[in-house]
């Protein structure tokens, strides 16, 4: 089958004063081109789950496979390459580079993968314009609103045409019109077989996915995108 992600018996615990088990024995398969919403109460482990899929953190136990290859093996050889070229994450806190303008934040992502400068600038301007930021290209993050910063972070994740996009509450600070624009971009990418997993607390947005994954008490449950959980 055409699975981009296979998660097998995944556990994640954190150890502070005592051990807390966040993800407990999760097994899920995600097919190429799936548009998946990720739900769960605050603190249930959505960001933790996305960080594991982005290879930013390691499982306590269990395996994650990306295109049939175990993450543990990928991390040992060329983690940066796979992450840079094939997987993009939009962080819950957008993590823009504060000394770079909106345009530079997006441009650098593409340029650093070896695309030529003029073409990187052209493509970055286009995507920022598509996201309604034509007149904000030269603004630094501190001079942008929360929603504008979030759109720059989204442009930065999309610009490299990754196979997998992990979006952690990507529309959290956006109004309805902008959320719809982002969702339409998701649909456009899905038509090109990009796989997208987005965490959200917005049920309306969650219901527009192909299906929903809900993290409840450390377990994951799959349900149809068109029905309520």
Ligand X SMILES: Nc1ncnc2c1ncn2[C@@H]1O[C@H](COP(=O)(O)OP(=O)(O)OP(=O)(O)O)[C@@H](O)[C@H]1O
Give residues in contact with Mg ion (CB under 5 A). Answer: 46-47, 92
Nearest Cα to Cα of residue 49 among 208, 194, 168: 168
What is the greatest pairwise CA distance in the chain? 52
Q: Which residues contact 217 (CB under 8 A, 6 or more apart)?
A: 24, 44
Using CB distances below 5 to 8 A depending on partner kind, what does residue 59 bind out of ligand X, Mg ion, none?
Answer: none
**Short-list 58, 113, 59, CA closest to 81:** 113
Between strands 87-90 and 164-168, the pairing is parallel
x/- contact string, 85-104, with ligand X (CB under 6 A)? -------x------------
Q: How far is the CB of 126 from ligand X (least distance, A)?
A: 31
| One residue of 1, 19, 42, 135 binding ligand X per CB under 6 A | 42
Q: Which helix (H) or strand (E) holds 12?
A: strand 3-15
Which span sits near ligand X by CB under 6 A: 39-47, 78-86, 98-106, 131-139? 39-47
State which residue has the least CB distance to Mg ion: 47
Residue 185 near ligand X by CB under 6 A: no
46-54, 65-73, 95-103, 183-191 -> range binding ligand X (CB under 6 A)? 46-54
* Distance in angstroms (rounded) separating the CA atoms of residues 188 and 186: 5
Least Cβ distance, residue 48 to ligand X (angstroms): 3
Candidate list 22, 55, 189, 197; residue touching ligand X; CB under 6 A: 22
Under the binding rule (CB under 6 A), the answer on residue 160 touching ligand X is: no
Q: Element (H or E) spanning 13, and its range? A: strand 3-15
Q: Which residue, chain included where needed, has tokens 């303008």?
A: 101
């Amino acid at each position: 089958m055409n699975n981009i992600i296979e998660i097998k018996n995944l556990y994640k615990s954190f150890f502070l004063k005592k051990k807390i088990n966040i993800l407990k024995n999760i097994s899920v398969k995600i097919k190429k081109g799936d548009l998946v919403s990720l739900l769960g109460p605050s603190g249930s482990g959505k960001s933790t789950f996305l960080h594991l899929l982005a290879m930013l953190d390691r499982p306590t136990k269990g395996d994650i496979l990306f295109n049939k290859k175990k993450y543990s093996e990928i991390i040992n050889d060329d983690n940066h390459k796979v992450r840079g070229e094939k997987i993009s994450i939009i962080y819950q806190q957008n993590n823009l580079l504060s000394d770079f303008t909106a345009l530079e934040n997006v441009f650098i992502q593409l340029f650093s993968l070896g695309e030529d400068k003029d073409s990187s600038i052209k493509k970055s301007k286009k995507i920022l314009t598509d996201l309604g930021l034509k007149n904000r290209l030269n603004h630094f993050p501190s001079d942008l609103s929360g929603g504008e910063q979030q759109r720059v972070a989204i442009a930065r994740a999309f610009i490299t045409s990754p196979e997998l996009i992990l979006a952690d509450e990507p529309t959290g600070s956006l109004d309805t019109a902008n959320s719809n624009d982002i969702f339409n971009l998701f649909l456009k990418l899905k038509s090109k077989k990009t796989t997208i997993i987005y965490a959200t607390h917005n049920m309306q947005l969650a219901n527009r996915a192909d299906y929903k994954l809900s993290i409840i008490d450390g377990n994951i449950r799959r349900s149809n995108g068109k029905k309520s959980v």
